[in-house]
């Protein structure tokens, strides 16, 4: 399949890496950069000076800092900005979007206050949720950019839209599977980042393999309860968007959520980590929004509670650990029906 012009909104690691996936299937790929200097650097050197600078971008990729230029005549749109900026960015982009252009959301998270998942947030701003899809899975942008074998799930309420984006990004090295469980895929994408922070803290405190495995699997059960309460299919949590993404986010050296957790255990603050690395820790934002959702739906989410209290309530590491280890164990998969 070949389309005309794909607009990629956001020049972070995922936005940049996604160009390599869609460029072989598009006549033109236009990256929207918030900063003019980034757009100029991409157009001059065919590399992103801020993210994945070693990646040589395909020849049919160019950049602009103008939303109207990026979105004008676009046949497809990919959203890849941090979750905290999705509403503002899409509000500015809306006047330049046609009413039926399909939109693929790479951002994972949940809006604080409204509880909207990212695809619903996009639809809330630009309308027509049936044209929106979300991609999730065990994919670090660094490895996708290097062409290493990866897999993801694309979820949409419209099977045609999911299949369309499958065709747009699939390759021998990038396997894309379709799903109609948009809620489950997105709940997994938001909540797994919180568990990854907890995993990083555990590793930073010297925890062993047994502890990390227990934390990940209990985190998966927490994700399943949250998904079920929100109307998603708990089985989705056993797939690429759930277990797959949880494994890579909790164990990989590329994971900013895990590495932030390790740094936090050593005494570094969130603000210091984000300033030092130049990257947004999505799990920190999710620790607020997922915590709000869990309490609103009356879902037990002890790992989310612990991370939230550490980051925003001044809890000590000892208090957070005690809150998890003094709980009375339930049956293993309670709360998923």
Is residue 112 located within the same domain as residue 209? no
Is residue 196 located within the same domain as residue 163? no
| 332, part of any domain | no
CATH number of the domain enclosing 227: 1.10.1040.10
Cα–Cα distance, 219 to 206 (Å, whole number): 19
Beta bridge partners of 133: 104
| 49, part of any domain | yes
How many of the other CB atoms lie within 10 Å of CB of 21?
25
Is residue 118 located within the same domain as residue 259? no
Is residue 270 located within the same domain as residue 140? no
Q: What is the pLDDT along the chain (337 residues), one digit of tens a residue?
A: 788 999 999 999 999 999 999 999 999 999 999 999 999 999 999 999 999 999 999 999 999 999 999 999 999 999 999 998 999 999 999 999 988 899 999 999 899 889 999 999 999 999 999 999 999 999 988 899 999 999 999 999 999 999 999 999 999 999 999 999 999 999 999 999 999 999 999 999 999 999 999 999 999 999 999 999 999 998 899 999 999 999 999 998 888 999 999 999 999 999 999 999 988 898 999 999 999 999 999 999 999 999 999 999 999 999 888 888 888 887 877 777 6
Number of domains in the chain: 2
Is residue 175 located within the same domain as residue 278? no
| 135, part of any domain | yes
Domain end (from 154, 180, 206): 180
* DSSP secondary structure code for residue 74 in this structure: -
Tokens of 210: 């047994």
| 167, part of any domain | yes
| 197, part of any domain | yes
Is residue 61 located within the same domain as residue 162? yes
Residue that has been written with the tokens 């059960």 in this structure: 221
DSSP string, 88-144: HHHHHHGGGS-TT--EEE----B-TTT--BHHHHHHHHH--GGGEEEEESS--HHHH
Global pTM reads 0.90
Is residue 212 located within the same domain as residue 320? yes
| 185, part of any domain | no
Is residue 113 located within the same domain as residue 205? no
Domain end (from 149, 180, 211): 180
| 32, part of any domain | yes
CATH number of the domain enclosing 96: 3.40.50.720
Cα–Cα distance, 154 to 315 (Å, whole number): 37
Cα–Cα distance, 127 to 106 (Å, whole number): 18
Domain end (from 180, 202, 228): 180
Q: What domain range includes position 21?
A: 3-180
| 100, part of any domain | yes
Is residue 141 located within the same domain as residue 58? yes
pLDDT at 280: 85
pLDDT at 254: 84
Is residue 205 located within the same domain as residue 131? no
| Active site residue ranges | 192
Is residue 172 located within the same domain as residue 212? no
Is residue 161 located within the same domain as residue 52? yes
Helices within the chain (DSSP H only) = 13-22, 36-45, 67-71, 86-93, 118-126, 141-145, 159-169, 182-204, 209-230, 245-251, 256-265, 270-277, 282-296, 302-312, 317-325
pLDDT at 253: 83
């Amino acid at each position: 399949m070949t389309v005309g012009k794909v607009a990629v909104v956001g020049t972070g690691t995922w936005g940049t890496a996604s160009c390599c996936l869609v460029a072989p299937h598009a006549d033109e790929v236009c990256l929207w950069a918030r900063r003019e200097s980034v757009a100029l650097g991409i157009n001059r050197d065919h590399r992103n000076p801020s993210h994945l600078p070693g990646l040589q971008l395909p020849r049919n990729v160019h950049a602009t800092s103008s939303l109207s230029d990026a979105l004008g005549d676009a046949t497809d749109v990919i959203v890849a900005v941090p979750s905290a900026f999705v509403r503002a960015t899409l509000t500015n982009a809306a006047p330049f979007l046609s009413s039926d252009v399909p939109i693929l959301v790479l951002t994972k998270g949940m809006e604080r206050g409204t509880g909207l998942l990212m695809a619903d947030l996009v639809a809330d701003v630009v309308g027509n949720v049936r044209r929106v899809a979300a991609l999730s899975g065990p994919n670090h942008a660094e490895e996708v950019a290097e062409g290493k074998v990866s897999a993801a799930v694309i979820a949409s309420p419209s099977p045609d839209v999911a299949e369309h984006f499958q065709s747009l990004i699939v390759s021998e090295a990038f396997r894309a599977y379709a799903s109609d469980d948009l809620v489950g895929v997105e709940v997994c994408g938001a909540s797994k980042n919180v568990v990854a922070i907890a995993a990083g803290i555990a590793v930073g405190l010297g925890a062993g393999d047994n502890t990390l495995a227990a934390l990940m699997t209990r985190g998966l059960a927490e994700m399943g309860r949250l998904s079920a309460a929100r109307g998603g299919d708990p089985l989705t949590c056993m797939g690429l968007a759930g277990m797959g993404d949880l494994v890579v986010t909790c164990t990989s050296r590329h994971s900013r959520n895990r590495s932030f957790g390790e740094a936090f255990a050593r005494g570094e603050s969130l603000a210091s980590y984000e300033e030092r690395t130049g990257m947004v820790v999505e799990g920190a934002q999710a620790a607020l929004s997922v915590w709000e959702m869990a309490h609103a739906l009356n879902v037990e989410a002890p790992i989310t509670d612990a991370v939230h209290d550490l980051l925003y309530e001044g809890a000590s590491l000892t208090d957070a650990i005690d809150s998890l280890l003094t709980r009375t164990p339930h049956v293993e998969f309670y709360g998923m029906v």
